[in-house]
Amino acid sequence: MSRFGLGSIVALAALAVVLAGLLGFSGEADAAPGPVEREILVVARSYAFEPPVIRARRGDTLRLRFASTDVVHGFYLEGHDLDVTIPPLSRRVLVARAGRSETSEEVVLVLERSGKFRFRCSKTCGAMHPFMQGELIVGPNHLFVGSSIASIALFVAGLAWALVAPGQGGSR
Ligand SMILES: [Cu+2]
């Protein structure tokens, strides 16, 4: 193999390591290996949700709990066939999902798709009701992609080292 070929492999390996680093660490600071399960309390009040933005990754499981501090609010999540009725000062909510309704203290949501999904109040609660909304942002699993590229980079780097190392010993 020519010297140019070896140089290319080393450069490629270095590039892959940099790429893996960028992909693996450009995400949120709460990066954890693989899918995670999180409990989130969604507090509804006229006319906002807290938190207004929920960030997660594809594959994560969200255990949503709800509370309203004033009147009856709703939590309709786009793209997930989910509509929750949140009565004030109660832990139990009415969950309408996949054509069924039941009361529960928790909604378990497995995030199967990445994307931005708006959630909004589905119970008319006052003048600003149409503006009562938030966003669920589901990112791809960067860490998985990052670690895959890192594995390939390590393999390529190892290969390059194996090819270069004997040559260095014999060169004068
Ligand atoms: Cu409302």
pTM of the full predicted structure?
0.67
Q: How far apart, in whole angstroms, are the C-alpha atoms of residue 23 and residue 57?
A: 14
Higher pLDDT, 147 or 32: 147
Q: How far apart, in whole angstroms, are the C-alpha atoms of residue 1 and residue 132?
A: 64
Which pLDDT value is given to residue 29?
46
CA of 49 to the centre of ligand 1 (A): 9
State the average pLDDT over residues 60-78.
97
Using CB atoms within 10 Å of the CB of residue 14, give its burial: 0 to 12 exposed, 13 to 18 middle, 19+ buried. middle
CA of 113 to the centre of ligand 1 (A): 26
The CATH architecture one would assign to domain 37-139 is: Sandwich (2.60)
pLDDT-derived band at 155 (thresholds 50, 70, 90) equals confident
CA of 110 to the centre of ligand 1 (A): 25
Q: How far apart, in whole angstroms, are the C-alpha atoms of residue 82 and residue 139?
A: 20
For 84-134, write each residue's pLDDT tens digit: 999 998 999 999 998 999 999 999 999 999 999 999 999 999 999 999 999
Q: Would you list the domain boundaries of the chain?
A: 3-27+143-170, 37-139
Higher pLDDT, 53 or 168: 53
CA of 103 to the centre of ligand 1 (A): 19
Q: Residue 24 pLDDT more than 70?
A: no
Q: Which of 13-17, 33-37, 100-104 has the lowest mean pLDDT?
A: 13-17
